Homo-oligomer: A and B are copies of this chain.
Amino acid sequence: MTKKLVLSFLLAAAFISRVWAGDEPPTVESNKNLIDLVQSHADYVWTLVAAALVFFMQAGFALVESGFTRAKNAVNIMMKNLMDFSLGTLAFWAIGFGIMFGASSTGWFGTSGFFLSDFKVGGDPWVLAFWMFQVVFCATAATIVSGAMAERTKFAGYLIYSAVLSAIIYPIFGSWAWGSLFNGEGWLEGLGFIDFAGSTVVHSVGGWAALAGAIVLGPRMGKYAKDGRVKPILGHNMPLAALGVFILWLGWFGFNPGSTTAANKNIAMIFVNTNLAAAAGAVLAMATSWIKFGRPEVGMSLNGALAGLVAITAGCASVTPLSAVIIGAAGGVLVVLSVLFFDKIKVDDPVGAISVHGVCGAWGTLAAGIFNIGGTSATIIGVQLLGMAACFLWVFPVAFLMFKLIDKTVGLRVSAEEELEGLDVTEHGGNAYPDFEVYSYGSMGSGGGSAAAAPVGSPGQVDLEPAEQT
């Protein structure tokens, strides 16, 4: 101990004398500090590039949701995805981040760091990099709900629940499972809950909120006939939906490996597991649809890829590639069965969000326990089940209550006339495709019915006659 003390003072003295001398030649110590600095630069670059990829998932969700629904609601879906990210960014900046990662005396939620107040000019900017990575996760949870509630939700009501989800519902559960990154330890992670990138924290939270929303809203008009038959409501643009899935798959290469928030070798296995699970999910969902419906079905195959991705999210850093194939494949089968199940119980989810994110998120969380690379145990499985249950028991009732409150106040569902007409015209004053002959467009016709003035390049400004030459 004395030797160590002497050594450190000698080294420090040597260091001081060199700095003081002015020419500052490199030393072993200054080199070590520089190495740490370069590594931290790599950490910043990787975490922020990954955040950018996850941000892009917002485009993917927008395309999947609009591709799987009707043309008459495409503007509305674009607006919802733009706004859940934009409002969500502001809500998470002001409130959510502080709740999720602020200092917590209880282990149930944080109470500091609102408005990024943990960051001081000239201080360590890591909190900013970390915030950037977290805000794109928060937005993912919010946008999942959007899909399940598509084609019948009032826009004003949507804005409210999107803000509440981003500011409160998502961050509170998040603090239980991930809060320790800044604030000590949430109670779930204290128990050893495994959810590396958020099968539960992000996807099940979104999925169970979506379930609550779909139940409170009720099904779209005409979806479930009185005689018990399920009537198909066709998605209007499969290439957009497929592009959306490719974008989501790409974004997941930020979502999962980026959750290291560090540039290290672990990202390789996470990349491979993510890719294998997605591939297996797509192939198995295709096969299941082929068996069930007699055709390799595009909507199911696309959702199968997403199911595989959601399922591997919890365990991506702690299962082998072979396990990833199995987890993804099971997700691919499960999502088809789940979609049919929710249609059977008449919960109308236009894009399958509850099945993809809620159900496969739960499966992935369980699977992370079962296939744990270091071995599994009843305790591990028990904690995983506890986390899954905690998520459902927190999110579903609170979201249900929130949707009911919105319904009783500003209103959650549009009128039957508005639903028939399409939300694009009634909520936003113009259609998505005014140049095209579109079957789902209502009586007001292309771009019709708005009393708005004439802003640039946008639909809906048609109290005036259209320009003659078009």
Contact = CB atoms under 8 A, between A and B. Distances in A.
A398 interface: no
Contacts of A131: 272
Copies of this chain held together in the complex: 3
Given A56-B250, A83-B301, A128-B269, 8 more contacts: A59-B246, A72-B435, A233-B466, A234-B460, A235-B457, A294-B451, A295-B428, A340-B455
Dominant secondary structure at the A interface: helix
Contacts of A439: 434-437, 446, 470
Interface stretch (A100-108, A175-183, A348-356, A403-411): A348-356
B456 A293 contact: no
The residue in A4, A279, A283 that gathers the most chain B C-beta atoms within 10 A of its C-beta is A279
Interface residues of A, number: 186
Interface string A265-285: 111110110011011101100
A277 to B, nearest CB: 10
B296 A428 contact: yes
Interface in A1-30: 4-5, 7-9, 11-13, 15-16, 19-20, 25-29
Given A66-B239, A432-B237, A470-B70, A458 B298 contact: yes
A90 interface: yes
B429 A293 contact: yes
A237 B239 contact: yes
A436 B236 contact: yes
B454 A52 contact: no
Interface in A244-270: 245-247, 249-250, 253-254, 257, 263-269
A250 B38 CA distance: 25
Nearest to A250: B56
A220 to B, nearest CB: 8
A268 B44 contact: yes
A230 interface: yes
26 contacts: A32-B34, A38-B38, A44-B264, A44-B267, A45-B46, A48-B253, A62-B242, A71-B435, A74-B239, A75-B298, A78-B242, A82-B301, A124-B265, A128-B321, A233-B467, A235-B458, A237-B432, A238-B433, A296-B428, A339-B455, A340-B455, A343-B454, A351-B457, A352-B456, A436-B437, A439-B470
Interface stretch (A114-122, A359-367, A378-386, A388-396): A114-122
A415 B215 CA distance: 45
Contacts of A55: 249-250, 253, 275
A282 B82 contact: yes
A376 interface: no
Contact of A299 (B11, B16, B455): B455
A58 interface: yes
Given A79-B298, A298-B428, A458-B298, A470 B48 contact: no
